[in-house]
Chain A
Amino acid sequence: MKLRRLLAFARKEVIEISRDRFTIGVALFMPVMMLFLFVYGITLDVENAPLMVVDQDKSAASRELQARFVNSGYFMLKAAPQDERAAEYALMRGETRAALFIPKGFARRLGRGDGAPVQFVVDGTYASTAAILSAYGRAILYAFPGELRLPVQPEVRVWYNPQLRSRNFIVPGLFAVILMAFPPLLTALAVAREKELGTIAQIYASPLTRSEFIAGKLLPYAGIALLELLIVVIGGLVWFQVPVRGSLTLLLAVGLLYVVCTVSIGLLVSTLVRTQLAAMLAALIVTLMPAFLFSGFIYPIFTMPAGFEIYASAFPTRYFLELSRGVVLRGAGLRELWPNVAILAAYTAAVFAIAAWRFRKRIA
């Protein structure tokens, strides 16, 4: 590898990219949009889920039970139809997430103490909301009609993220996800375009070696990716005020390594496809989907079957995501997280080597 040739090639790439305003705009705006959508769009605990109450008893007791549901803060009264079927239909159409049926004679049986029947139905379509809603609903029903304060009062503290603010856990996760979602796509498209337009033939004809080509493509795109990382880090930490307990320097240093890793993956993808369309779809399958779904970003890896834990481990996102959350939320340092750094370094070297090996200087 000759440094002078490599730099000259990288410079040509930089000029080419800087002329493409559209691509740069998309590359820098996309992470910002994702940051905002995720921070505002994801709430982890359930609040004010729509609830329909069918109260056929119309007694003081039934009104009290209804009030307990609404005052708990978990539910919001959507409507109180007289007809059971109206509530069932609303559940089917997804207009309400839960329904409470209080039959006639509720107060009378409650007074006699022989267990007044009440039915509480939760729409199970969204499993994670439904699990939380049915647990809260049960808790309210168990406590009724006794004191609102239970004999054993739990004082729940959530460590590392006391108010369960979703942004505290989403933002450090996004550091890992965004860098896997966009830079590989950009890189793969760039190389595939050269193949599709035929300009790659000029590279074949030049004295540039394979690893010089790969490294020269890598440098400018890693620069863009690094810029994306900085935007998300600054946006998350300054605008959304996510507290960082650990070392920001460590996060950014490993971030740099991770950026090189994800751009190399994009280059590897581009050696496998011939067209930009295929490059994009392959990038979706190899980078975007695993980054979102198999990194532990939203779906914890421990809930996956064993085979998929291995699949999740085959992508680098998981390692950087664990590191990022460890540093930002738990204040962990290199002492706890060095295995993640080691894996990322080895991964990067391997992907770069394979990409350089796969890239062949030959026509068609």
Chain B
Amino acid sequence: MLGRLAGLLAKEFAQFLRDPVMLFIVLFLYTAELVMCTLALGFDVQNLKLGVIDHDRSAASRALVQELTTGGNFVLTDQFSSLQQARGRLQRGALDVVVEIPPDLSARLAAGRQASLGVVVDGSNGNVAARARAYVIEILARFAQARAVARPGAPSTSAGVRSEVRVWYNPDLTNTRFMALSMLAQAGLMLGVVLPAAAIVREKQGGTIEQLRVTPIRAHELFIAKVTPTIIICTGAVFPALLIMTLMGVPMRGDVTTLLALTVVYLLSAVSLGTFVGTITETLQQAMLLGFFSLFPLLFLSGTMAPIESMPGWLQTASLASPQRHYVDIVSGLFLKGAGLAELWPHALALVGISTTMFLGGWLLFRRQW
């Protein structure tokens, strides 16, 4: 049996390596795409363009503008005398935020009464708008606290809390580390689904499956031979990706052996999907479309595009079926948080569960065709 399997494997490897375009694409996904996405999609929302309409023109209003522009969140680009003037700039997308300071700001603050401040945020990119709004609220709270402390005769409790706000695992709040890890996960799933599916369907479409059928080869042996090259090549491709991530400053806090072991588990779940797709389709075109069709929701539900906890409950539950979601959690745990198997075993177990189900389903269906 081993000799049979070895022969099949040799055939599969030869077929895989014969297509230079494929090897190029595998490497491209693990290296170039990784570098590009990591460099470009940092998503550092800084230096938002701020316009100010200061009706007060007092020391207090200047202090407020000063406070808004320290820290690099906002850059003062325009001064207007009315909101009408600012409207055109906003519509063209040349401004992100406009702050309108009322004429009685300093009078009200001195009297200890509340002053209201008009803030207009361009909502046409909602991601940016949500951040801009949070920044404004934070800065105004800071401004208010600073003034409360500075005011003579203020009640002593105004000293308030000495807060220490920390961001763990990613202190400079950049998206790059997470992006690099997501791309690593995505490359694995894409190739893991598409390559075995294509390898199986190609035999069906070309009719060469008849030749295999008359040999003593068994259905499960064919499965093993079809998925092994993908697993080996994609696991190997993790090494250049690791090198690139080291160069780009993604810290590896965990253990490389654990990473490789869990990567193999992840790839197993991806290729199990691929064999399933290959089993239920008849032509390459169908296989590619179905593969594509299943890849997309899995990618979406992995948290790469939007954080999972901001999704509604039913989508969060559905995300448990996405191998990519578990792998993203695994690699971000390993790389960023220094987690190990002790923390990550539930994800590994889920991946094993997914691959067992899909392999079993695929195998049962395929046996009927065999």
Number of interface residues of B (CB under 8 A): 109
Q: For the complex formed, measure the closest distance between the CB of A192 and the CB atoms of chain B, giving whole angstroms.
A: 9
Q: With A23-B286, A91-B168 in contact, is A311–B36 under 8 Å at CB?
A: yes
Asked if A122 and B162 sit within 8 Å, CB to CB, the answer is no
B337 contacts chain A at the CB level, 8 A cutoff:
yes
The listed residue with most A CB atoms (<10 A of its CB), out of B126, B301, B310, B339, is B126
B52 contacts chain A at the CB level, 8 A cutoff:
no
Asked if A37 and B28 sit within 8 Å, CB to CB, the answer is no
Cα distance A292–B315 in the bound complex, in angstroms:
20
**Stretch in B6-14, B213-221, B287-295, B362-370 touching the partner:** B287-295
Q: For the complex formed, measure the closest distance between the CB of B105 and the CB atoms of chain A, giving whole angstroms.
A: 8
Nearest A residue to B155, CB-CB:
A113
Q: With A23-B285, A169-B126, A284-B190 in contact, is A134–B115 under 8 Å at CB?
A: no
Q: Main SS of the interface on chain A? A: helix
Asked if B128 and A300 sit within 8 Å, CB to CB, the answer is yes
- Determine which of B121, B128, B166, B285 lies in contact with A119 in the assembled complex, contact meaning CB atoms within 8 Å: B166
Cα distance A146–B315 in the bound complex, in angstroms:
39
Asked if A22 and B289 sit within 8 Å, CB to CB, the answer is yes
Asked if A155 and B118 sit within 8 Å, CB to CB, the answer is yes
Q: For the complex formed, measure the closest distance between the CB of B350 and the CB atoms of chain A, giving whole angstroms.
A: 14
Asked if B130 and A45 sit within 8 Å, CB to CB, the answer is yes
Cα distance A59–B206 in the bound complex, in angstroms:
75
Asked if A122 and B166 sit within 8 Å, CB to CB, the answer is yes
Asked if A303 and B119 sit within 8 Å, CB to CB, the answer is no
Q: A216-243 vs B: 1/0 string, CB under 8 Å? A: 0000000000000000000000000000
User: What range describes how many residues of A lie at the interface?
Assistant: 35 or more
**Stretch in A256-264, A329-337, A352-360 touching the partner:** A329-337
Asked if B21 and A135 sit within 8 Å, CB to CB, the answer is no
Q: For the complex formed, measure the closest distance between the CB of B213 and the CB atoms of chain A, giving whole angstroms.
A: 22
| B286 contacts across to A, CB distance below 8 A | 22-23
Asked if B64 and A152 sit within 8 Å, CB to CB, the answer is yes
Q: Main SS of the interface on chain B? A: helix
Cα distance A166–B123 in the bound complex, in angstroms:
10
Within 8 A of A (CB), among B90-143: 90-92, 105, 109, 112, 114-131, 133-138, 140-143
Cα distance A135–B133 in the bound complex, in angstroms:
9
Q: With A23-B286, A151-B109 in contact, is A134–B167 under 8 Å at CB?
A: yes
| B343 contacts across to A, CB distance below 8 A | 89, 92-93
Cα distance A134–B142 in the bound complex, in angstroms:
13
Q: For the complex formed, measure the closest distance between the CB of B349 and the CB atoms of chain A, giving whole angstroms.
A: 14
**Stretch in A1-9, A199-207, A270-278 touching the partner:** A270-278
| A47 contacts across to B, CB distance below 8 A | 310
Cα distance A121–B170 in the bound complex, in angstroms:
11
Cα distance A171–B115 in the bound complex, in angstroms:
37
| A115 contacts across to B, CB distance below 8 A | 159-162
Cα distance A327–B140 in the bound complex, in angstroms:
33
Q: For the complex formed, measure the closest distance between the CB of A282 and the CB atoms of chain B, giving whole angstroms.
A: 7
| B305 contacts across to A, CB distance below 8 A | 41-42, 292, 298
**Stretch in A156-164, A247-255, A342-350 touching the partner:** A156-164
Q: For the complex formed, measure the closest distance between the CB of B278 and the CB atoms of chain A, giving whole angstroms.
A: 12
- Determine which of B129, B161, B190 lies in contact with A117 in the assembled complex, contact meaning CB atoms within 8 Å: B161
Asked if A135 and B129 sit within 8 Å, CB to CB, the answer is no
Q: A137-161 vs B: 1/0 string, CB under 8 Å? A: 1111111111001111111111111
Q: Shortest 7 CB-CB distances between A and B: which pairs?
A: A124-B170, A161-B123, A113-B156, A115-B162, A308-B40, A141-B163, A142-B141
Q: Which residues on B are within 8 Å of A, measured CB to CB?
A: 19, 21-22, 25, 28-29, 33, 36-37, 39-45, 64, 90-92, 105, 109, 112, 114-131, 133-138, 140-145, 147-148, 156-171, 173-175, 178, 190, 194-195, 198, 284-286, 288-293, 296-297, 300-301, 303, 305-307, 309-312, 315, 329, 332-333, 336-339, 343
A-B contact pairs, 25 of them (CB 8 A): A27-B289, A30-B296, A40-B311, A44-B126, A92-B343, A110-B160, A116-B162, A117-B164, A124-B173, A126-B307, A128-B45, A134-B165, A142-B160, A146-B144, A155-B119, A156-B120, A159-B90, A161-B124, A275-B21, A284-B190, A285-B29, A300-B125, A300-B127, A307-B39, A311-B36
Further 10 A-B residue pairs, CB within 8 A, beyond A158-B133, A277-B19: A22-B286, A27-B289, A117-B161, A123-B168, A129-B310, A144-B160, A146-B144, A154-B116, A278-B21, A308-B40
